[in-house]
Structure 1
């Protein structure tokens, strides 16, 4: 068998995936009347271990999740790998609990479904939404989950000092109103239509990181809030000392992210959760361990409480070569994160030795460079904000060569834009400024007055040497590092004195948040259902730092460094169009308005794409069942989380 994967063969394998035609309605789903519920059962010995029978651990009306292939068996440890605490999204995306979640029974069919709520309804103009919890829903410690937990989140995490004000809750500077109806039901109201709220929740939880939406375990977290009647000052002091922070707010997180050592499931084994698994140790330990939540709220059609798998372990690694070796040795049961598409042949050649199979999805992302128009150096900021300079940067890049030399032809040379099959896909945008033309690039730079110096590199308009750096996290020996070396070479070939800063992810995030970056390298993902998270195109997603400080200025309540854009800057029109689109109840009109926003990027891209739409390689152990091929991989759709990891299992 030929283990090499051509792009043609790849596209054949994933033909008919969600990439073919993604269309999602944000309207509530009419839930069918449930069939007679099967008797609830659980893993062997869990009743005795917890002291509560399975039927009392799940809600009266649990969520029913249908396995993709077959009813599973209980047990086993799912072995994965991660790069430590900054690699938080690997474990988290397997384990998120939004009130409303994506539902993808087939690759062609993506919709929404109620998760730990039993239903949601909205009024005609989408200014009012009512949510109802599943009756008998519990936290992982067995405590009841009620609207008291919703009120707590609203008072302290949303309105209070913790300031987790998502822009889909605070519209036009006006905060969302909350009315608690009863123990299970609550209503939220907005000053203007908010028709996209359901898909915002499905993408971003709308509350604590990994969920739950609009709630937090009040019986536990109120201990760490000094002015609450349940406050435990000794516990607050001990937690602050143990975690090296100086305020109680930092225990919950910084910048409203709720990823602090007390409030983030990944960092606090004691935190009660509604997720399928909970941390049983710290992410600084090797391996990091996640163990089943005995009170998880979902069952399969036979009444078996999910998840099927008992435990997930993440082994720590720094070097991708070590991770690839683990795969070849059969030490990884299922993983796509850190599995590099450029190494497809290696993974195929080691399938038998590693006792796994390679299963393909498709990435809804494009590798991209982000010239920072908020650069602290005003000369660089002005250059990066000049379309002619960005065009020169873009057409100086030989995308075809990058694809062939680095990625064996598996990627697609393209601009940073919505991917094939997205409702916003535009072939003209995809090809904008992508033709390799170093002669024109040189001419554009000459027209800008960037004269060549005696050393062969260009001078700035002020006569000083034009020098800037590419900030990224691609370590030597990886395809990403090889790509960045080629980009450096291409830009230096047109007289730009460019070098690279290679940093660890947490430092990259810190620097991009502060605007301390010349050109950042990060993928433009979230390109399938773009309106669910348009941050890449409105300047509010810092790891793609084309306008981070403008984005902070526009984001309500952001504590990060910010700069107000000039009155005539195009980003203000981008923001105006987004506010208009998100409030438009009519879907056709909303799409037309949003297209105007994308057309601003199409005319003069702020994010310079190189190659994208690559295969997403999933390493899947031969005895792991219910993982299926053909889906699109995107942060918006929560990557592998899209197909409910709770229904994965190991065949005995």
Structure 2
């Protein structure tokens, strides 16, 4: 099989102008760089772009061609939130298009051959880092040879995301613009890993980072520099310098649309346009349109109020559904619109019964599927939806959303109707009798009481108050125990927590070609079976192996997905796993598709009114291209005249 991804590119993403036409195109620089170009400190734009830049047809994406200029202001809560500029900028080797197909971006194209074992990546001739240094396969080899195989930087060997079925790839640079990764078995995770909100790193800026590496500088010089900087060794300096995802080091070159100009501590971070960015629009304007993005730091509890008084140009993070009334009320006075985007998690809120809880009485109770089904049937999701979400959410289990090709209505509705009669019958069948006050009595003779530990959010508490009312109709008492997030996690990981409430599957928009990680116990932060996830995550050195059929079967199916050779086989496996979740309820979904308020200033263009808010895939604003967002100057002027 040989698949050239460039043949698929821009079906709904952007049209790539043929090389000859792109070569003949007249490129247009931002006035932001006029002085630097005139002074000779920066080359003209045609010398800064790759020989074949990515030409984006915005009309094909349902967006409009814009103009250069201006800044975009948003709010964040803490300095480390600078990392969201890497997420929002969403320049990736390959990325998801608007239909969640993987298409080339930084890369010119990709060839996938030998049944998904061999990946040949083609870079753009003449592509440069943000400091003007060539971006070549040397940067890929530096990561693989000098970083991933250096025990001081990677003590356990190359990162696990480069391994498939226990095997690492053979990495070979065929030229300065072509590099090949050859795996001994098919690796369906390789390209999706490069397209993530936080992508797997497979390249690094060699020309910058090699100054901190003993393969290029004598180790005694590096050690002296480390001691002078208060670091323990050269590796600590190298690691700190290369936190590419955090966007905290202004000296680290980037391929993103903007790069940070100042470092923490600060309450205002300025991101300046990358003069060597690889994209242009159909009129030849080098992207991004906006010259700067400004991240102002504010108290989390104040962000909604500041957004409502016009202190931002765009804002999504740190806004909640219960802010909508405030935001809508202030739109006209402060010149913005409040868009409502669907949150794309499998469930906005779900209950996580701890199947690996240490308490033997509760563990035996919660492991009985009849008990979990009774709890689910005893929840009035319509009431939750109407009281808290004004009836705008989707009711049902934790599963795929309707826009996913894997969605089936029966997965969402399974044991999701409010049916106290059936729920009580299931509990009766289990022999859980009621005592004089209506409480159900457990196998130990004590009344059944479930403590749901939460991170202290008001939204969670409001939902649980409603659940508590209906569960008492089953004779089960629910108690809410708010905790700090770190304390809550420690208790879950140690098996002390009976149940918690949290969002569901991270990706409710999965396709058959995306690995079903959410569905099997592969990480400790899956709160329904944290101990099993730790066992997998630590390569069997921690936690415990699954000792329930559901855990064993899901892990076997996940393995089968990796071994599958066709999309049809992968689709069938996905549905088997989704059906198991619908039948056996390792999590109990409540509502999904809750609306995320997104504030957008009047005159700001190319953010959709009806969008999806998702971490991965989606990268929040990244899916829609923050580099395509621009100011409609006529609209801004008209508003100013009002």
TM-score by length of 2: 0.83
Cα 1:128–1:587 change in 2 (3 A) is same
Greater Cα shift, 347-356 or 156-165: 156-165
User: Which residue, 193, 200, 208 being the options, matches 1:220?
Assistant: 208
Shift in CA distance, 387/87, structure 1 to aligned 2, threshold 3 Å: farther
Question: Does the aligned pair in 1 maintain the 2:22–2:52 contact within 8 Å?
Answer: no
Query: Mean alpha-carbon deviation: is it higher for 327-336 or for 447-456?
Result: 447-456
Q: Does 1:41 align with 2:23?
A: no
Task: Please give the alpha-carbon distance, in whole angstroms, between the structure 2 residues aligned to 1:517 and 1:89.
Answer: 31
Q: Which has the higher contact order (CA 8 A, sep 6+)?
A: 1
CA pair 582-29 structure 1, distance change in 2 beyond 3 A: farther
Partner of 2:636: none
Deviations 1:339-384 (A, max 9, x none): 3334434333322112012334323222212223233444444444
Distance change >3 Å, CA 90–CA 204, structure 1 → 2: closer
Question: 2-side partners of 1:431 and 1:489: how far apart?
Answer: 21
Matches within 5 A, 1:141-156: 141-155=131-145
2:72 to 71, 75, 78: 78
Which of the residues 194, 204, 212 maps onto 1:201?
A: 194
Cα distance between partner residues in 2 of 1:126 and 1:488: 50
Q: Which among 61, 64, 83 is matched to residue 55 of structure 2?
A: 64
Q: Could you tell me which residue of structure 2 aligns to residue 9 of structure 1?
A: none
For residue 123 of structure 2, the aligned residue among 124, 133, 137 is 133
Separation in structure 2 between the aligned mates of residue 270 and residue 551 of structure 1, nearest angstrom = 38
Aligned partner of 2:392 in structure 1 is 410
Q: Which residue of 1 is the match for residue 337 of structure 2?
A: 357
The structural deviation recorded for 1:625 is 1.2
Q: Report the counterpart of residue 29 of structure 1 in structure 2.
A: 6
Q: How does 1:417-428 map to 2 (within 5 A)?
A: 417-428=399-410
1:414-465 residue CA offsets vs partner (Å, 9 max, x unmatched): 1101111311111111011212234544554455566678998666545677
Change (3 A) 1:248 1:605: farther
1:29 match: secondary structure: helix
| Native 8 Å contact 1:76 1:311 kept in 2 | yes
Q: Encode CA deviations 1:268-291: one digit per residue, 9 max, x unaligned.
A: 333222111223344663234333
1:576 pairs, out of 530, 540, 556, with: 556
The secondary structure found in structure 2 opposite 1:637 is coil
Residues 271 and 293 of structure 2 are in contact (CA less than 8 Å); yes or no, is this contact kept in structure 1?
A: yes
Maintained 8 Å contact 1:177/1:189 = yes
Contact 2:56/2:282 (8 A) holds in 1 = yes
Matched residue SS, 2:574: helix
Aligned partner of 1:548 among 523, 527, 530: 530
Return 142-151 or 452-461, whichever deviates more: 452-461
Gaps of 5+ in 2: 10-15, 634-642
Contact 2:83 2:247 in 1 (8 A): no
Q: Distance in 2 between matches of 1:569 and 1:421?
A: 30
| Paired residues of 1:523 and 1:544 also in contact (CA < 8 A) | no
Once the two structures are superposed, what CA deviation does each residue of 1:379-434 show, in whole Å capped at 9, x if it has no partner?
Answer: 44444433223223322222111111111111121110111131111111101121
1:258-297 equivalent positions in 2, closer than 5 A: 262-282=243-263, 285-297=266-278
Query: Does 2:608 align with 1:628?
Result: yes
Q: How many angstroms apart in 2 are the aligned matches of 1:224 and 1:375?
A: 46
Q: 1:537 maps to what in 2?
A: 519
The range that moved more, 479-488 or 388-397, is 479-488
SS in 2 for 1:207: coil
Q: Distance in 2 between matches of 1:204 and 1:186?
A: 23
SS in 1 for 2:294: strand
Q: Is the 8 A contact 1:625 1:648 kept in 2?
A: yes
Return the alpha-carbon distance in structure 1 between the equivalents of residues 181 and 574 of structure 2: 25
C-alpha distance in 2 between matches for 1:488 and 1:607: 17
**Change beyond 3 A, Cα 1:342–1:123:** same
Query: For structure 1, which runs of at least 5 residues remain unmatched after alignment?
Result: 1-24, 209-213, 254-258
Q: Secondary structure at the match of 1:630?
A: coil
Q: Is the 8 A contact 1:526 1:533 kept in 2?
A: no
Distance in 1 (alpha carbons) for counterparts of 2:469 and 2:271: 44
Q: 1:100 aligned to 2:86?
A: no
Q: Which deviates the most, 55-64 or 149-158? A: 149-158
Q: CA deviation at 1:620?
A: 1.1
Contact 1:101 1:115 survives alignment (8 Å) = yes
Distance 2:86 2:527 in 1: 23
* Higher-Rg member (1/2): 2
| 2:184 aligned residue | 191
Residues 596-607 of structure 1 correspond to what in structure 2 (within 5 A)? 596-607=576-587
Partners of 1:485 and 1:87 lie apart in 2 by 33
Partner residue in 1 for 2:626: 645
Secondary structure of the 1:36 match is helix
* Alpha-carbon shift at residue 591 of structure 1 (Å): 0.8
Distance 1:428 1:263, change over 3 A: same
Aligned-residue Cα RMSD (Å) equals: 3.5
SS of residue paired to 1:180: strand
Q: 1:129, 1:187 within 8 Å by CA — same for their partners in 2? A: yes
CA distance in 2, matches of 1:602, 1:583: 24
Which structure has greater helix proportion? 2
Distance verdict in 2 for CA 1:168–1:29, change over 3 Å: farther
After superposition, what is the alpha-carbon deviation per residue over 1:21-80, rounded to whole angstroms, capped at 9, x for unaligned? xxxx99723166332332333222426445333223222212222335433222322121
SS of residue in 1 equivalent to 2:578: helix
Q: Aligned ranges for residues 486-505 of structure 1 at < 5 Å? A: 486-491=466-471, 494-504=475-485
The structural deviation recorded for 1:611 is 0.8
Looking at structure 2, the residues matched to 419 and 167 of structure 1 have their Cα atoms a distance apart, in angstroms, of 30
Output one character per residue of 1:452-494: Cα deviation in whole Å (capped at 9) or x when no partner.
7899866654567766543444534xx3442243335544663
What secondary structure sits across from 1:579 in the alignment?
Answer: helix
- Which of the residues 359, 368, 385 maps onto 2:367? 385
Matched residue SS, 1:482: helix
Report the counterpart of residue 7 of structure 1 in structure 2: none
